[in-house]
Structure 1
């Protein structure tokens, strides 16, 4: 499979990619973004048909460096560097 030089990665060779996972706290609404680029944490994706309030709501892998910041209108902005 062709591996893009940049952007989101949809293949299966993920060892050299960085994982970004988004969690939303159901109690207080806080957003947490986990960035995993080594073997210090395990990536545990949610199971299909199982509702887990602590599971990732969205995730992606990329070879790019990604910066997150809040915009003036309260939206989360993501910049691929």
Structure 2
């Protein structure tokens, strides 16, 4: 299997704060550039996710970021 790291290149998919890797089969993996705070991890936020399409990986990342925000907000409220 061949994988390709997706850099900030025009025409390539990018998700700010995350590094994307795509396999030759077209599967996407995303790794957060900085780990989530411990409280967010305990709430279920994952810093590494995968999906079949770019749109799906975007949605999974959005879920992880929301989980992290909600966990941090719950601590500060």
Length-normalised TM-score, structure 1: 0.27
Name the structure with the higher helix share.
2
Name the structure with the higher strand share.
1
Length-normalised TM-score, structure 2: 0.28
